[in-house]
Structure 1
């Protein structure tokens, strides 16, 4: 239950009395003698109630109400009035005030009104939270595309981890979208307005690695002209994404470990430590603990990085996502050129679903762009090793069902007619493929 209350009144005796009543009842109370001071110190998204006198020197309670309503129309404001101000207070309630109390008022009257206002505030904030979660979920669904169970689970994990102050290790094959997932962890969390710095550890020469990460002072080494801020310092307050972390030299692993542990770093050639606030997201294809056992990676750093782990399934393990992704990439490529992407034939769709996609999403995007440009069918193998005919048929059936559901906006009767399936058979197939009608409603 919320218990934060702000009291604004120019009379010290009333402020003191109200504070005593409310504090004894378990409320957290903050006092102001002037409305201007209340506005200046009011925290963003204040999760409580404001009690204000109507008549005060300078800004009065009605002006304060008007100002508060601009930023948050749902913030409850209880007005304290003299006898002659009652008609004015009633008008204020029509304009958004929650309640008014005529002086002198009893503690019971004040507590009753305050508790009702706090209950309303709690419902409003909870409703906002649910709407924000729904908006985030919708935005994430358009960023991490896919209907497979694996992708749905990944989106849930990303939303859960985005708001937590923990380092994350992303495991996945080349081209599976590790940087995109890292970016979502940043964009959907509290650091979204701070820098997101991505580094590919395999692409930085070992001789330049330390200067790239930690920066340097002028003259720290031959050719170091002027001071340079490193990537870690630049990302202060935000997120650092270290792709192919297994390629980081052992000497730099030790220094990165110290930064994670102490939240401090030193530029090359400097003696002064610089405090940094960083979230580290690392990505790797191999198992870091196996790399540590082979002597190629520090075990203590592996544990520090792997507070939470996300595994990205390769495209061959989520074939039902292939048509949706292909359509997205083809449409985006065509729109850039002012074209309309040509439709896929059933033969081409079968090819897409049967290919093994060793390059994962990156390879699929390339094939979709070629298709959108009219450069012919994707250069792919039709029958990958290890995939049975039954698996290919299941993937094709799931795609046909999904396409029909999307085309008809989830209308089951229209889907039955289009696919010429009885209701029971359609229900069984939808259940087997994890398809839910509500996901396709307009």
Structure 2
């Protein structure tokens, strides 16, 4: 049975757009149309396309330009090009740059539907497996996270080294495990080690192994975590904290695919994929001489930057409910719920500890709540405890207050730029002078204070 999906159709010929849309809708697809590449990019903000069909020659940004932009913003969405006979060489070039296929005009109906089915099947086979994997581990409705997961899907089944960046508690190890399970190495070991959690000598021995008698406590030989993960993935958390001397040995592992245990006379082959993570700015560490630049380029072939929880506030409520359900399943009890005002308090917090901190707060709320409903007071108490007695809940302002604060700051900024010149400030703001004076009076701002 043929797949059906969401198709974005881009062509500046309205007659052809209508014809192709009718054919696609007749086959059961949901179709969104756009008359230009710019309109197509805007449509993708609200329309989750499974496939894009675009004309090659259009006014303004052409099909190649749209293809390049799509690969940046939506790398997993297949693109089919429509081309006139004279532009077939360009279409062939476009397929070399990432387009899935091209169709020559006039468009044959059966060929169109067949190519769309192939595109959806190709995207769906890998996509279904990846989606089921990440949804079993990651809770999100954030567009930023979905874009990140699209990038992660592309790199998951490769051998490429990946560097995951992000603040502590954002879920870097969870993403690393998901990448491992989606890879051809998914049935082999996944070994995680925190590079900042142990002394240099112990870390060296844990990573690379050691021979018997290599040092005082080496009562027997140990193969080390790199060799214990043979055929699988090694996750090096907080790689930015790895001692400088060990960075040289790790670089050799990446370059030579072999490891020399402490005290050994020869190196041993090792087959592992390295995924690393850090909350540090490695560019600054390189500049200060604390991290090797050559190692950085080996580790960061692909970089995935996890957003902080405060940058994805739409995920706070779903994550809180997920943690409530997880705790209930673990204890085999009925899941508790948050009162509406309690959920507001959670969503208004800045979460400096990110998802890990939210999980801890939910755990505390469940443990200290006798009834079925977690109250606002319980949330406030937990947040105050988490912040060392200082309540950092910082509930979001009401819309009217936030808007007034923004307008006042904006007016002051204009007056500073114009040195108190009301007429010039009004022109910059695209307002007439009388209206601008009313705004100043409403927000109790005296332009004379900003004159030079």
Q: Does 1:199 align with 2:202?
A: no
Change (3 A) 1:250 1:180: same
Distance 1:305 1:383 in 2: 36
Change (3 A) 1:383 1:126: closer
Alignment deviations for residues 337-365 of structure 1 (CA, whole Å, 9 cap, x no partner):
22222222111111011001111101111
Distance 1:393 1:384 in 2: 17
Match of 1:166 in 2: 160
The secondary structure found in structure 2 opposite 1:161 is: helix
Q: Does 1:380 align with 2:380?
A: no
Shift of 1:270: 1.3
Q: Does 1:287 align with 2:281?
A: yes
Q: Does 1:212 align with 2:206?
A: yes
Deviation larger for 188-197 or 382-391: 382-391
Q: Does 1:141 align with 2:144?
A: no
The runs of 5 or more residues in structure 1 that have no matched partner are: 1-119, 395-442
Change (3 A) 1:132 1:162: closer
2:262 to 268, 274, 288: 268
Match of 1:233 in 2: 227
Shift of 1:131: 3.7
1:414-429 aligned within 5 A: none
Distance 2:285 2:195 in 1: 15
1:286-435 aligned within 5 A: 286-375=280-369, 377-378=378-379, 379-380=382-383, 388-390=397-399
Match of 1:254 in 2: 248
Does the 8 A contact of 1:145 with 1:325 survive in 2?
yes
Does the 8 A contact of 1:216 with 1:227 survive in 2?
yes
Alignment deviations for residues 357-390 of structure 1 (CA, whole Å, 9 cap, x no partner):
1111011111222233343622227875695544
Distance 2:342 2:137 in 1: 25
Deviation larger for 340-349 or 292-301: 340-349
Change (3 A) 1:206 1:168: same
Match of 2:5 in 1: none
Match of 1:189 in 2: 183
The runs of 5 or more residues in structure 2 that have no matched partner are: 1-113, 385-390, 404-452
1:151 to 131, 145, 169: 145
Change (3 A) 1:224 1:344: same
Change (3 A) 1:391 1:196: farther
Shift of 1:142: 2.9
The secondary structure found in structure 2 opposite 1:373 is: helix
Give TM-score scaled by structure 1 length: 0.58
- Number of residue pairs matched by the alignment: 273
Distance 1:213 1:392 in 2: 54
The secondary structure found in structure 2 opposite 1:202 is: coil
The secondary structure found in structure 1 opposite 2:196 is: helix
Change (3 A) 1:332 1:225: same
Change (3 A) 1:182 1:251: same
Shift of 1:136: 2.5
Distance 1:158 1:343 in 2: 33
Distance 2:140 2:161 in 1: 25
